[in-house]
């Protein structure tokens, strides 16, 4: 049996249990460089635990997925956070799960506003990078170092993730 989950708008309030929303909608900003630049300060905190843990910055190029999406697997990173910051103003799908008794709980799906990014907290179950409609590039801030920083969980049944009614890819 497939459970259906419809993505909802990504907001700081709804995403707080899983991490941080990275966007310009914050009061924590101020001018720098003689007023020629506005700094939106400390939007997320990168985590790098474990032996020889370091924060790294990478570029990812993600291929779009077909919708409705059949979600069969989520992953988490026990030693570090993972931030995805889009390099284009296109929305993408964010899937997260609270911790359950024997693995991840029921998934929740969010649709970012154009330009929004996310930072998954360390040990947060989440779906893979899921662009919508076209290939999309991202800056990714995560952890490198000793130890395995990837756990995958395969659900016993798929979840069907749908985009909100009327959303155009």
> Would you state the pLDDT for residue 118?
98
Q: What's the domain range around 9?
A: 3-162
Q: Is there a domain that residue 48 lies in?
A: yes
Q: What domain count does the chain have?
A: 1
Q: How confident is the model at residue 59 (pLDDT cuts 50, 70, 90)?
A: very high
Mean pLDDT of all residues in the chain? 95
Query: What's the rounded Cα separation, in Å, for the pair 164 and 159?
Result: 16
Q: Is there a domain that residue 39 lies in?
A: yes
Tokens 């395995």 correspond to 148
CATH label of the domain that carries residue 48: 2.60.120.480
Q: Is there a domain that residue 21 lies in?
A: yes
Q: How confident is the model at residue 3 (pLDDT cuts 50, 70, 90)?
A: very high
Q: How confident is the model at residue 1 (pLDDT cuts 50, 70, 90)?
A: confident
> Would you state the pLDDT for residue 2?
85
Q: How crowded is residue 107: how many other Cβ atoms within 10 Å of its Cβ?
A: 19
> Would you state the pLDDT for residue 5?
96
Q: Is there a domain that residue 169 lies in?
A: no
Q: Is there a domain that residue 168 lies in?
A: no
pTM: 0.92
Query: Left if phi > 0, otherwise alpha if psi is -120 to 50, otherwise beta: which for 110?
Result: beta
Q: Is there a domain that residue 167 lies in?
A: no
Q: Please, are residues 59 and 139 in contact by the beta-carbon 8 Å criterion?
A: yes
Q: Is there a domain that residue 52 lies in?
A: yes
Structure token pair of residue 83: 């931030």
Average pLDDT over residues 142-157: 95
Q: Is there a domain that residue 119 lies in?
A: yes
């Amino acid at each position: 049996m497939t459970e259906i989950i419809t993505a909802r708008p990504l907001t700081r309030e709804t995403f707080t249990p899983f991490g941080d929303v990275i966007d310009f909608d914050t009061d924590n900003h101020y001018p720098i460089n003689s007023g020629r630049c506005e700094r939106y300060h400390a939007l997320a905190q990168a985590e790098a635990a474990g032996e020889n843990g370091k924060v790294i910055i990478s570029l990812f190029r993600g291929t779009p997925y077909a919708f409705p999406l059949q979600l069969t697997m989520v992953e988490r990173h026990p030693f570090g956070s993972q931030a995805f910051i889009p390099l284009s103003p296109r929305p993408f799908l964010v899937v997260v799960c609270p911790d359950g008794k024997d693995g991840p709980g029921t998934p929740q799906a969010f649709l970012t506003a154009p330009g929004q990014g996310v930072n998954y907290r360390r040990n947060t179950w989440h779906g893979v990078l899921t662009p919508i409609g076209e290939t999309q590039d991202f800056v990714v801030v995560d952890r490198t170092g000793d130890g395995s920083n990837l756990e995958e969980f395969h659900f016993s049944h798929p979840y069907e993730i749908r985009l909100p009614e009327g959303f155009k890819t």
